[in-house]
Homo-oligomer: A and B are copies of this chain.
Amino acid sequence: MTITRADCVAKDARDVLASRRALFSLPKGVIYLDGNSLGVLPRHVAARVKAAVELEWGETLIKSWNKHGWFHLPQKIGARLERLVGAEPGSVIVGDTISVNLFKILTSALGQRRKRKVILSDSGNFPSDLYVAQGLTQFMADGHEVRVVAPEDVAASITADVAVVMITEVDYRTARRHEMKEITRLAHSAGALMIWDLAHSAGAVPVDLKGCGADFAVGCTYKYLNGGPGAPAFLYVRPELQNMVQPALVGWWGHARPFAFDLDFVPAPGIIRQQCGTQPILSMTALDAALDVWDGVDLRDLHRKSKALCQLFIDLIEENCARHGLKLSGSRAMDRRGSHVSFHCPEGYAVMQALIAQGIIGDFRMPDVIRFGITPLYTSFADIWDAAAVLTRILGEKLWNRPKFLARKAVT
């Protein structure tokens, strides 16, 4: 390969984020390129969760709702996320799942556009987002429509009947990145509200919710934010909208006086009204702890490294594997991509199994996509070189076609 492993080791030596790697519990014998699906465990999280179980729950019990701040974790963690997504103070709250939060903000938005019947989305959206909109419109049964267009047709499809534009910034397969500012502007020009899903953006690319004028957003904390399996999601509402909207899904945590136990719902001011039921505190605590690894990280450094790692991986694979039919998915412009790299790959499923057998963890997405998450906080340039070398060997020697090879235990 024209870029040598020594070149990559030298890049790591100059990397301002290199020291972050030691904060993570990276499993031995593995190069983990699936942090866009489940982020790696930050080492100190285990002790924090242990304390939450044994001391906060075990010893302090019910008093921990106040004494250990359980009740305010959704706001506390939300505030910590604001910097990572360019949000205004008091505009982000954590809890529930992306799908549940999307339902809340979708109904919040539709309540503001009663006469319009179209929810516009695109076929590059994560399917669950489309399911949320479909489930809602089927229930409403009053002429509402989920209109799904190709990603490149979104801008031209924002017509005067559109109530809400609902788009995921970074495509979970191709890594294609939508122009948040421009699409938001077009939505507002047409009188529509704008919802962004940042599942593959937060912690991966710079996001400027305030700067692009987004109305609503949701996002994921178990991918690039390393919050743990199924960690609670986040939700954003633009400050000026917060007191105007009301979701269809409400509950006592969104009440103005939850402990007054009134029989009538009175929405709390601000972002709090988007809360619903009691949150899973152990998972929430893991997430809170996990965010410590972001303290002091300059997101410009993060993005610079993300692009450099992705470019390196693309260069190495295209140089060495293109002859085996691998074809890059998504844009070549690094600013129009998220932080994962996907290739169309003949026999992609078997190839990914062979990679995993060799300790290179990525994933496969139908019909033929092998996908690699590039997580700048714990992935090194040498990792990328090593992963590319293994993939090159697997394809060159057709190792994906040898059952004995696949059955081997993972080693690097």
Interface of A with B (CB < 8 Å)?
A: 25, 27, 30, 32, 34, 37-38, 40-41, 45-46, 49-50, 53-54, 56-65, 70, 96-100, 103, 107, 110-111, 114, 123, 126-128, 130-132, 134-136, 138-142, 148, 222, 228-233, 246-252, 254-255, 259-265, 276-284, 286, 361, 363, 365-366
Name 25 A/B residue pairs within 8 A (Cβ), A-sorted. A27-B58, A38-B61, A40-B61, A41-B53, A41-B54, A49-B50, A50-B50, A62-B363, A64-B229, A97-B276, A99-B251, A103-B248, A103-B249, A110-B139, A130-B263, A132-B249, A140-B140, A222-B278, A228-B282, A229-B280, A233-B277, A248-B248, A280-B280, A280-B283, A280-B284
How far, in whole Å, are A117 and B261 apart by their CA atoms in the complex? 25
Question: Which of the residues B45, B60, B264 comes within 8 Å of A53, measured between beta carbons?
Answer: B45
Of all A-B residue pairs in the complex, the 8 with the closest CB atoms, nearest first, are A97-B277, A139-B248, A99-B251, A280-B283, A135-B250, A99-B277, A128-B252, A229-B281
CB distance from A39 to the nearest CB of B (A): 9
| Nearest chain B CB to A222 CB, angstrom units | 7
Residues on B with beta carbons closer than 8 Å to the beta carbon of A50: 46, 49-50
Q: B49 and A62: CB pair below 8 A? A: no
- Report which residue of A40, A61, A141, A229 has the largest number of chain B beta carbons within 10 angstroms of its beta carbon: A229
- When distances are taken between beta carbons in the complex, the residues of chain B under 8 Å from A34 are 61-62
Residues B366 and A261 in contact, CB atoms below 8 Å apart: yes
Query: Are B111 and A139 in touch, CB under 8 angstroms?
Result: yes
Q: Are B249 and A135 in contact (CB under 8 A)?
A: yes
Q: Are A277 and B98 also in contact (CB < 8 A) when A45-B53, A132-B249 are?
A: yes
Q: Give complex CA distance A123, B250 in Å.
A: 18
Give every chain B residue within 8 A of A282 (Cβ-Cβ).
49, 228-230, 280, 282-283, 286
Are B251 and A128 touching (Cβ within 8 A)?
Answer: yes
Q: How many copies does the complex hold?
A: 2
The listed residue with most B CB atoms (<10 A of its CB), out of A59, A62, A255, A263, is A62
A393 to chain B, nearest CB (A): 22
Partner of A261 from the list B98, B247, B250, B365 (CB cut-off 8 Å) is: B365
- 20 further A-B contacts with Cβ under 8 Å, apart from A70-B229, A96-B97, A261-B365, are A27-B61, A30-B61, A38-B61, A40-B61, A70-B230, A97-B278, A97-B279, A99-B252, A99-B276, A100-B276, A114-B141, A131-B254, A134-B250, A134-B265, A230-B278, A230-B281, A261-B366, A280-B282, A281-B283, A282-B282
A246 interface neighbour in B41, B107, B138, B247, Cβ under 8 Å: B138
Q: A37 to B278, alpha carbons, bound, how many Å?
A: 12
Instruction: Give every chain B residue within 8 A of A45 (Cβ-Cβ).
Output: 53
